[in-house]
Copies of this chain bind each other. A is one copy, B any other.
Amino acid sequence: MSHFIGVDIGGTNIVFGLLDDELNLLRKSKKPTGAANGVDYVLNLIASTIDELLAEQGLSRADLGAVGMGNPGFVDPERGVALSSANLKWENVPVAEKLGGLLGGIPVFIDNDVKMYTYGEAARGAGRGYKHVLGVTLGTGIAAAMVNEGKLYYGSGFLAGELGHVPMEGESALCGCGMRGCLETIASATGIARIARERLERGEASVLGEWFPGERIRDITAADVSRAYDAGDALAADVLRFVGVKLAIGLAWAITLWSPDVVVIGGGAANAGERLLAPMREALMPLILPMYRNRVVIKPAEMNDDAGVVGSAAFARSRAGL
């Protein structure tokens, strides 16, 4: 019976999962990425950790069907090349070829991390049983991927789905991408914290002002806004309602253009939960045609920490034809 490895690499940590043939997660592991040591260091670390995981389970490379890996940034999944990743400082790294070589020829498949996350939720998480799954990750930024009947949607250059960088009319905050008013300046952990800070700086009353006096205002995070909401803070509720409405506009466009059966919302900022999702749902329904309204289901992600590794392994199994 073939086993599969899923790897989820980020700027800080690499998460590894060993899965059986039915994509049950048998074993997990986590290592610091150490990206500053260069590409070869990281790929060698991945190969040796894979060997460790196999050994711990009493397996060897001969039991491995394929390895899948989710990379931050842009990826060419056909050639298995990490095109560019700001977090890892990787440019045009032939990951599939290099890592496959270190593993003695085991097939390696890579893709963008949000695509792998969505693939995991579609295969084994909140999207299970639906044909058309839209995955949205609300974290430092916001991103999306679409899985149709088990296949990721790519578009030209594998670049589809940059839901963070769509123009929101009337908004003007500078985005990390250089444009202004992108959805991710609002509907993200960064956006929630920024909007709360700006309203405090304009003199609005909030328990956040007591918790973060003076200069400490800079330390406010999205999690603090949720905490303030739970303490009954009106400003926090208003910020999350505002962000929820903007997120609804983004989802209305995505639902209308892609027509998913289910929208799975994950990522760290999704921890705000119904504080954010309740006003989002309320705003969303009047913005989409009845035929979508009656069809689409909005669900929180079910396997947040595991979606990346499980999705990577499932993707590798599918690509390897196993």
Contacts and interface: CB of A to CB of B under 8 A. Distances in A.
A41 interface: no
Most buried by B among A154, A160, A178: A160
A165 B292 CA distance: 11
A174 to B, nearest CB: 13
Interface string A248-274: 010011101111110000000000000
Given A155-B260, A157-B259, A159-B259, A169 B169 contact: yes
A170 B167 contact: no
Nearest to A162: B256
Contact of A179 (B74, B155, B289): B289
Contact of A156 (B144, B259, B287): B259
A169 B167 contact: no
A93 to B, nearest CB: 18
Interface string A204-244: 00000000000000000000000000000000000000000
Give 4 nearest A-B pairs by CB, closest first.
A155-B259, A160-B259, A169-B169, A159-B259
A68 interface: no
A129 interface: no
Nearest to A291: B159
A257 B164 CA distance: 10
